[in-house]
Amino acid sequence: MDYKQSGVDIDAGNEVVRRIRSLAKGTFTPGVLSQIGSFGGLFSLSSTPMRDPVLVASADGVGTKLRVAFMTGIHNTVGRDLVNHCVNDILVQGALPLFFLDYLATGRLDPDVAVRIVEGLSEGCRENGCALLGGETAEMPGFYADGEYDVAGFIVGAVERAHLIDGRTISSGDVLIGLPSSGLHTNGYSLARRVAFEVAGLNVNDMVPELGTTIGDALLRPHRSYLPVIRPLLGRGLVKGMAHITGGGITDNLPRILPEGCGAVVDRNAWEVPAVFNWLQRQGGVPDDDMLRTFNMGIGLIVISARNDADAVIGTLAGAGESGARRIGEIQDGVGVRYA
């Protein structure tokens, strides 16, 4: 008995590293001081123009959206999902991404699948100006079913201390500006999969006329990065706070950035809920409250500004290519989120 016979193929792992080296190198920025394969990734903060940089870090996964990737055999989009999710998580505090690391774990390493995942990671990093600095690929026989894997991401960014966005100045009367999502992003897939594949009895390749595409493609739409449209707002003092609308929806994510004594009123008629959410709710008979706490419902990011600055924020977003930004509510004295 040798290691390969026990389920771990070291040669396959080395082949993956060889094939992804060029993908990662294509994301390198001036701050990168190491190469893929080093024990640790090196990054120089002197590559940033910041005088007093604050590092902002986050970690996340793709969740059970991966099940849809397994079912469709499409593996080159979940990497973009992961990078964009992590970018948004630090962006809401005003940080720009510096570098990203990934962790890929599987029962049996398939080099072709692993490379497709990293293709998505590298594409996401390039789009966000973020270096794919390194990562880990773990082959764990007996731990994951054949053909399954999990992938997680770790991001580090930086923001000038004076431009840190922490929500502390948010007060009653401030305006909520919602930015549209591209779909489910990376949350609510346990419910969405059950509705689509168990209740509705669909196959991933089945067309849903109401959605204009297959259910598989609708559920695999990549998580959107808001960095390109938010970047022009950073450092201008127009933004008091931002919330990335992930698991928990607006209901649970918006209060995370509100000071004590502040609540929010959200106008549900201020935007058109995308068809995929209406379809899931109708097919599954999902109550309104569950929909609002499970999905983003078409709003992927919320920007909070003073009422007098709201037009300038929306105008800046429009100038950056975001035509869908709109006022969706306001801050009021109280606790939590109330829908009107």
Q: Which domains does the chain have, with CATH numbers?
A: 10-163 (3.30.1330.10), 175-339 (3.90.650.10)
Q: Given a cut of 90, is residue 235 above it in pLDDT? A: yes
Distance CA 202, CA 12 (A): 35
Residue among 137, 152, 128 at smallest CA distance from 37: 137
Q: Strand pairing of 131-139 and 96-106?
A: parallel
Q: Locate all alpha helices (DSSP H) within 187-248, ordered by sequence.
A: 189-193, 215-220, 227-230
What's the whole-number mean pLDDT along residues 254-280?
A: 97
Q: Which residue has the tokens 């604050």?
A: 54
Question: pLDDT tens across 315-327, in order?
Answer: 999 999 999 999 9
158: left (phi over 0), alpha (psi -120 to 50) or beta: beta
Q: Locate all alpha helices (DSSP H) within 167-270, ordered by sequence.
A: 189-193, 215-220, 227-230, 249-253
Give percent of the chain with pLDDT exceeding 90.
91
Task: Say which range, 6-15, 52-61, 116-125, 331-340, has the weakest mean pLDDT.
Answer: 6-15
Count of C-beta atoms within a 10 Å radius of residue 80: 22
Question: pLDDT tens across 295-321, in order?
Answer: 999 999 999 999 999 999 999 999 999
Distance CA 81, CA 86 (A): 9
Position 209 scores a pLDDT of 96
Question: What's the chain's average pLDDT?
Answer: 95
Count of C-beta atoms within a 10 Å radius of residue 148: 15
What's the whole-number mean pLDDT along residues 73-81?
A: 97
Position 5 scores a pLDDT of 61
Distance CA 271, CA 252 (A): 19
Q: Are 300 and 185 in contact (CB under 8 A)?
A: yes
144 burial via Cβ count (<10 Å: 0-12, 13-18, 19+): middle
> What are the angstrom distances between the C-alpha of 185 and each of 100, 220, 299?
19, 8, 10
Q: Are 220 and 77 in contact (CB under 8 A)?
A: yes
Instruction: Give every strand in the sheet of 53-61, ordered side by side.
Output: 53-61, 149-160, 96-106, 131-139
What's the whole-number mean pLDDT along residues 161-176?
A: 97
pLDDT band for 175, please (50, 70, 90 cuts): very high
Distance CA 83, CA 152 (A): 9
Q: Locate all alpha helices (DSSP H) within the chain, ordered by sequence.
A: 10-25, 65-72, 78-91, 111-127, 189-193, 215-220, 227-230, 249-253, 275-284, 288-294, 310-319
Distance CA 198, CA 49 (A): 52
Position 20 scores a pLDDT of 86
